[in-house]
């Protein structure tokens, strides 16, 4: 585990990296050098991104990144997700695990990251709550992901009534990719639609 002081040698052959940020990381330390040092990874997991993360971080380009996993916390800033996507032009697989206690606010990005248009093939949203911001995110992603072939949504904490409301709403969303399958996995209901 890295504390506030860390040394990175030659990471040019780095394949996979996982970084866990505590809430205070962004208040008292600058994680930019760490992210810059691991920017050559092909697979990256970022855990516990919190409301304290500024949405305008000067990120390096993740030019080799193919797989990105984000574990985000309550009241998360979606613009930061899109900033990471904008800096990951070759991204093919995106997994977002939500840990929310309150509805976050959706703000549509000003531009669509190039990886969403041309490379993103699979996307998974874990612990989806079916809230308005979730629908807005999914609507945006499906409308712009032209090569997406698989979207998987897991909703294991919804009531049966909420699943029965959310699943049909999700499956009716228009898609830019005619080959995109949507898999809904809930506690009460499982459904797939081409």
More confident residue, 97 or 175: 175
Range of weakest confidence among 1-5, 16-20, 171-175, 180-184: 1-5
pLDDT of residue 28: 41
CA-CA-CA-CA dihedral for 74, 109, 164, 194, to nearest 10: -130
Q: Determine the Cα–Cα distance for residues 189 and 56; give it in Å rounded to an integer.
A: 39
More confident residue, 5 or 114: 114
Mean pLDDT is lowest, of 55-59, 147-151, 180-184, 187-191, for 55-59
Strands 190-193 vs 181-186: parallel, antiparallel or unpaired: antiparallel
- Residue whose entry in the numeric block shows the structure tokens 């394949």: 15
Whole-prediction pTM: 0.86
Which one is predicted more confidently, 175 or 56?
175
Q: Using alpha carbons only, what angle is made at residue 56 by residues 104 and 45, rounded to the nearest 5 degrees?
A: 70
Q: What pLDDT does residue 74 have?
A: 52
Q: Is the pLDDT of residue 89 over 70?
A: yes
* 90-94, 99-103, 188-192, range with greatest mean pLDDT: 90-94
Q: Write out the H or E segment, with its range, that includes residue 153.
A: strand 150-155
pLDDT bin (cut points 50, 70, 90) of residue 178 is: very high
Say yes or no to pLDDT of 24 above 60.
Answer: no
Going by pLDDT thresholds of 50, 70 and 90, the confidence category of residue 6 is low
């Amino acid at each position: 585990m890295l504390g506030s002081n860390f040394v990175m040698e030659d990471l040019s052959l780095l394949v996979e990296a996982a970084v866990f940020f505590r809430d205070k990381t962004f208040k008292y330390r600058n994680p930019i050098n760490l992210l810059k040092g691991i920017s050559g990874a092909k697979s990256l997991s970022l855990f516990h991104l919190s409301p304290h993360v500024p949405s305008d971080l000067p990120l390096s380009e993740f030019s080799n990144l193919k797989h990105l996993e984000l574990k985000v916390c309550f009241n998360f800033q979606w613009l930061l997700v899109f900033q990471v996507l904008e800096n990951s032009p070759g991204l093919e697989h995106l997994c977002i695990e939500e840990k929310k206690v309150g509805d976050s606010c959706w703000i549509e990005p000003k531009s669509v990251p190039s990886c969403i248009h041309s490379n993103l093939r699979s996307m998974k949203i874990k612990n989806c709550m079916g809230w308005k911001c979730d629908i807005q995110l999914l609507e945006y992603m499906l409308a712009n992901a032209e090569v997406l072939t698989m979207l998987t949504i897991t909703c294991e904490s919804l009531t049966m009534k909420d699943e029965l409301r959310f699943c049909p709403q999700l499956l009716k969303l228009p898609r830019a990719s005619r080959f995109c399958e949507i898999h809904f996995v809930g506690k009460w209901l499982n459904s797939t639609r081409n």
